With several copies, the nearest count.
Chain A
Amino acid sequence: MAAINLLQAVNEALRQEMKRDPRVIVFGEDVGYEGGVFRATVDLQKEFGKDRCMDSPLAESAIVGVGIGMAINGMIPVVEMQFSGFSYPAFNQIISHVARMRNRSRGRYTVPMVIRMPYGGGIRALEHHSESPEAFFAHIPGLKVVMPSTPYDTKGLLAAAIRDEDPVIFLEPKRIYRAFKQEVPEEDYIIPIGKAKVVREGTDITLIAWGAMMRETLKAAELAAEKGIHPEVIDLRTIAPIDRDTVIASVKKTGRAIIVHEAPKTGGIGGELMAIINEKAFLHLEAPPTRVTGFDTPFPLPRGEQHYLPSPERILVKIQEVVNYLT
């Protein structure tokens, strides 16, 4: 086992899957010769050649649309959107074709494709470089949406995404690409898509988060523990389809829930989770489920971003509020 960071885990999963299956092909803007602006695809072109890892013209709709055709003709494209904020030109291809080809053709044509994109804020970046668009993709039937939070999960989930026979949107928390290392098995392995993980057990309240917000949430849980509150923390890992069983089991136990996400509050996945909790665990609730999220604004430029991102302290305040509800 070597200790690697999340970015290296992406690279390792890509390499192992490309080795395992000659149908796997990687392309996107700058991913070939240079190995990606974040270096997620570094050395893949060297190792597998220009026909397995290549630079594309600067056109996201084409990257996805061409990928669809390649998938139909026997390949497994793993394409990169350079930043999730630049996936929008490909929105029509994603919603109208990636997500629907299997259903449209009643299973005759499928799109076993992975669309990777770094997402999220906190890296002091230019406009459009800090987006968290998971709610858009989760509202598109036919897609799976995965957001890992650790090197270990990243490697296993990306491998699973590549082997999945359905299209997967794979959102990588760029803020923590290099934030920490973790022991990760060198051999390949799979973490099943559609399964959340209880990463901290607790009794008083359920905190649900994913991706880069896991760190803030876990820190908040620690802060709460110092104050005698014991949160259970769930790493959702898959945003679509949501692992309702894990969420509901936890909320039934704790009676309380907070969802944490970076994306704007209105219409975010927080609302969907609150709805699920209502539909499945209402009688167990001791307080209304609620959320700590980005504001209903675009992500601010760097001199304002510290206000936007949910912080452990903001989460803690909400935890206290929910735990003290009506007492």
Chain B
Amino acid sequence: MIFKDYNPLEKKMLQIMDETGTIVKPELMPDLTDDEIKEIYRLMVKTRETDKKALMYQRQGRMLTYAPNLGQEAAQVASAFALEKRDWMVPAFRELGAWLTRGAELEMIYLYWYGNEFGSYVPEDLRILPVSVPIASHLQHAVGIAWAAKLQGKDEVAITYFGDGATSQGDFSESMNWAGVYKAPTVFFCQNNQFAISVPRGIQTAAETIAQKAIAFGMPGIQVDGNDIFAVYAATKEAVDRARRGEGPTLIEAYTYRLGAHTTSDDPTRYRSNDEVEEWSKRDPIDRLKKYLLSKGLLTEEEEAQIVEAYGKLAEEAFKYVEANGETQLEDIFKYHYKEMTPQLVEQMEEYKQFLRERGEI
């Protein structure tokens, strides 16, 4: 229903809660209990606090490169919240919030950014693919997962996350197109955070919205206020439901902003103004939800402080674990390429171990 009323060509963007935390479209308010809304809030705070800690560890030289989430918590948490456990998530690399929402352990996530492949060893009961670095390439995998589910009669939907920059890649179009043809139950979730590293959204495409790209592939597309959990959730839920009903894929553009750096290697002051960043800070997705919760009496300032503190502690514990257990074991470099190591790999590993042994290093 929403999709019909929010045609991107008419420049309509779905917003349910405005920047003051006021519900401006009560008739579109999704079916979320107060507990669920509170849970979304908690996950957003968890995302923010653990994100902050990761940045801090990185600055201390203890974590490696890291891609911060600041500002995108609503887009990630509220969208992932619309999935069922049996559904699949196919992330890019900036989806801490979505990972946490789906139940991933912080240890694993930190381990990845710490620089150890075991950080991508997703437990069997979680349907999340590893971080995917080559931009837009993973969208194809989401379509394959979704299509395979459909062909096997499994009731599973795949959601895939990507940025505004990703929409310029051939793989974006190929995968959307394929999903359209075969009605693969896929949700294409674009976090338009206005930048691909230093390149502003206007250089990625002449289309006025990213949502309208859906038209090229015969599927619905919608632009939503990416800092409004209700808009994000409502659109994602509708897309997931459509997919589940066999009606095919949807493109969602979550209009948001990356408040932090692209990654810890990046200095955003080089390419954008503080004014712009401040402007967007005022639309902070967590502040907005907090205002809503406060006004509804669902949260107090003290409770907030407690939540923040608890997640800070959690992050510290998790990182402590990672620092204690994060070194790569030599054999692991060789062991996982094939079901069984090839003779070449065995030889290379043995030769290298021999080298280390002779030097007394193992």
A residues adjacent to B (C-beta < 8 A) = 25, 29-30, 33-34, 37, 51, 55-59, 61-62, 64-75, 77, 85-86, 88-89, 92-93, 96-97, 101-110, 124-129, 141-142, 144, 164-166, 194, 241-242, 244-245, 265-266, 295-298, 300-304, 307-308, 313-314, 317
Interface residues of B in 143-180 (CB under 8 A from A): 143-149, 151-152, 154, 156, 158, 165-166, 168-171, 174-175, 177-178
Given contacts A75-B148, A124-B115, 18 further A-B contacts (CB under 8 A): A30-B199, A33-B199, A55-B199, A57-B177, A58-B169, A70-B148, A93-B137, A103-B336, A104-B117, A105-B120, A105-B130, A127-B131, A141-B337, A194-B342, A245-B343, A295-B348, A301-B328, A307-B328
B residues apposed to A, CB below 8 Å = 64-65, 88, 90, 93, 114-118, 120-122, 124, 129-149, 151-152, 154, 156, 158, 165-166, 168-171, 174-175, 177-178, 181, 196-199, 203-205, 265-266, 270-271, 326-328, 330, 332-334, 336-339, 342-345, 348-349, 352, 355, 358-359
Cβ contacts A to B, 21 pairs, < 8 Å: A34-B198, A37-B197, A57-B177, A58-B135, A65-B140, A69-B90, A69-B140, A74-B152, A97-B138, A104-B117, A107-B121, A107-B336, A124-B115, A128-B134, A165-B339, A245-B343, A295-B334, A301-B116, A303-B327, A304-B117, A307-B328
Q: Knowing A34-B197, A93-B140, A96-B137 touch, does A69 contact B147 (C-beta < 8 A)?
A: yes
Selected contact of A69 from candidates B121, B148, B171, CB within 8 Å: B148
* CB–CB A57/B205 < 8 A: yes
Contact A59 B333 (CB under 8 A): no
Bound form: Cα–Cα A97–B132 in Å: 9
Question: Given the known A-B contacts A34-B270, A66-B143, A73-B144, are A307 and B348 also in contact in the complex, defined by CB atoms under 8 Å?
Answer: no
- Bound-state CA distance A110–B148 (Å) is 15
Q: Which residue of B lies closest to A300 (CB)?
A: B333
Considering the chains assembled together, what is the distance between the CA atoms of A125 and B146 in angstroms?
31
- In the bound complex, residues from chain B placing their C-beta under 8 Å from that of A69 are 90, 140-148, 158
Contact status A65-B65, CB under 8 Å = no
Tell whether A58 pairs with B168 under 8 Å between CB atoms, given A107-B336, A297-B345: yes
Q: Is the CB of B143 within 8 A of A303?
A: no
Check A59–B178 contact: CB distance below 8 A.
yes
For the complex formed, measure the closest distance between the CB of B271 and the CB atoms of chain A, giving whole angstroms.
5
Q: Quick check: A55 and B121 within 8 Å, CB to CB?
A: no
Q: Establish whether residues B145 and A70, one from each chain, have CB atoms under 8 Å apart when the complex forms.
A: yes
Complexed CA–CA distance, A247 and B130 (Å): 39
Residues of A near B170 (CB, < 8 A) are 59, 61, 89
* Residues in B whose Cβ lies below 8 Å from that of A68: 140-141, 144
- Nearest-CB residue, chain A, relative to B150: A51
A295 touches B333 (CB 8 A): yes
Residue from A69, A165, A166, A300 having most chain B Cβ neighbours under 10 A: A69
